[in-house]
Amino acid sequence: MKKILFLMVAFAAAAMAADGDVANQTLKAYSMIAAGVGLGLAALGGAIGMGHTAAATIAGTARNPGLGGKLMTTMFIALAMIEAQVIYTLVIALIALYANPYVG
C-alpha cells in the first residue's frame, strides 16, 4: 500500500511540475486511468449486487414457490436499479474522457 501511495504522489508531483502541453497530456492520461478504474469498480460492484439479488430471489422462490412471480418482478426492478448505477459511472467516465473541463 505504501508503494502505491508513493507512486501516486510521485505521479502527482510530475504532473504539477510539467509545463503547458505536457501538463494537458498528463491530465488526459490520468483521466483515462481514472475512467478505467472507475468503470472497473462500478462493474465489479454491480456484478456482486446482481449476484446477491439473483441468489436471494432463487432462495425465496425455493422456500415459497407461490411467490415466484412477485419475487421475479421485484428482482428485475432491483437489477435495473443496480445497472443504472453502472451506466451513471459510464456517463461520468465518458465526460471525463471527452469533455474534460480541466484540460484547456
Q: What CATH number is associated with residue 81?
A: 1.20.20.10
Q: How many domains does the chain have?
A: 1
Q: What is the pTM of this model?
A: 0.69
Domain annotation covers residue 22? no
Please report how many Cα atoms fall inside a 13 Å half-sphere around the Cα of residue 99, on the Cβ side. Answer: 5
Q: What is the mean pLDDT of residues 62-83?
A: 93
CA 48, CA 77: separation in Å to the nearest integer?
Answer: 16
Domain annotation covers residue 97? yes
b/e per residue 43-77 (b: at least 16 CB within 10 A): eeebeebbeebeeebeebbeeeeeeeeebeeebee
Domain annotation covers residue 87? yes
Query: What is the overall mean pLDDT for the chain?
Result: 84
Q: Note down the domain range covering 96.
A: 30-104
Higher confidence at residue 54 or residue 96? Answer: 54
The pLDDT of residue 1 is 74
Domain annotation covers residue 62? yes
Burial of 8 (0-12, 13-18, 19+ CB in 10 A): exposed
Domain annotation covers residue 7? no
Domain annotation covers residue 53? yes
